[in-house]
Amino acid sequence: MREYALTFVIALAVTHLLTPFVRRAAIALGAVPPVRDRDVHSEPIPRMGGIAIYGGFAAAMLISYRLPHLQDVFVYNTWRGLLLAGALIIVIGIIDDRWGMGPVPKLAGQTLAAGIMVWSGVQMLWLPVPGTQLSLGPWLGALVSILLIVVTINAVNFADGLDGLAAGIVAISSFAFFAYYYVAAVDQGFERQSYPAMIAIILAGVCIGFLLHNFNPARVFMGDTGAMLLGLLLTSITITVTGQFYPDGRTSVHGVALFMPVFLPLLVIALPLADLVLAVVRRTMAGKSPFAPDKKHLHHRLLELGHSHARAVLLMYLWAAIIAFASVSLSVFDTPFVVLAVTLLVAACAVGLITLPRLRRRSAAARSSAAAAKAESAAPGPPG
């Protein structure tokens, strides 16, 4: 655990220290787009913060490579492929953040980065199916892996609509993944120093390090450079953890735990993923392009309800944490009813927090109407 803690601190510190330099470089390069109608900030803010995230991730990876107890997790070339794919994503993001890029070339670049990861060994070879496991084979496994990587990249990119939203959600997901794998490793007797756990704790570190500059009011945005990188790294954990639990008798992982590597990232980004699907449906039904921007996303609706910028982000953090850690708890504890009861209680509180501004407005309106009626009744009538 000491190695994980050191790796986390390195990732956090390097990302935090690099971000001001990247901010100044973004300003010098002109990556400070004007405020658009759909934006919720009022002043232009520099982008390309993802460069600092990549720097922190690469530094933590390379230092981990020299740590005695973590050297054994670098037995394959997957980490080199991940760094190479991340570098390609950074190049695509810089171009998009500075000069703009159409959806087709951006999608092609994302697919190429996903292909690099699959080529380096980050590939899903089987899927858990109730009662059995579905073997995918090399070609179908490669296609499924590339599709999962590209979808997650775009879902995280779509979540980057408020200060600190994407970084916080991915940090929550990473901590949930680390807790899931570490507890599973202890329970099943796996090696506690592992590649997926290391990637998860590094990813959590870079997110927290960047969030110190990115939470409302943000001084720098990660832009597509960072959002796409976070999606890429998050999916690498998903696919790698799935490969740890082979259905050949080497592990007794079963039930909910068997499905968690596949569904946990989808569950933790359920809100932005649902927002993505609803936006595509909404725009298509309106006869617009699915990529046409609007101001009807979930975070816009939270702001319309009367929540402040920071409170809207914290509410989405809360929902992400509820879904992620409830799922992890169901997979590692033998008390599902207790977990579900606590989850429902916390979720009910979260719903109450969401509706609180509307309830306050209704209460204030009712008091105002009552005061007006009382004043009218107390007023003297016309002389007889």
Binding-site residues, please?
A: 157, 224
DSSP letter for 192, please.
Answer: S
Determine the Cα–Cα distance for residues 120 and 244; give it in Å rounded to an integer: 16
**Contact at 8 Å (CB) between 185 and 4?**
no
- Give yes or no for a cis peptide into 383 (omega within 30° of 0): no
Determine the Cα–Cα distance for residues 310 and 321; give it in Å rounded to an integer: 16
Nearest C-alpha neighbor of 117 from the set 140, 147, 97, 94: 147
Write down the H helix ranges in 221-378. Answer: 223-242, 256-268, 270-285, 298-304, 309-332, 336-378
In this structure, what are the phi and psi dihedrals at residue 84, rounded to the nearest 5 degrees?
-70, -45
Determine the Cα–Cα distance for residues 382 and 384; give it in Å rounded to an integer: 6
Query: Rg for the chain (alpha carbons), in Å?
Result: 23
Checking DSSP bridges between strand 132-135 and strand 126-129, what pairing results, if any? antiparallel
Neighbours of 277 (CB within 10 A): 12
With a CB cutoff of 8 Å and minimum separation 6, the contacts of 342 are: 326
Neighbours of 308 (CB within 10 A): 12
Output the known binding site for Mg(2+). 157, 224
Nearest C-alpha neighbor of 234 from the set 201, 259, 265: 265
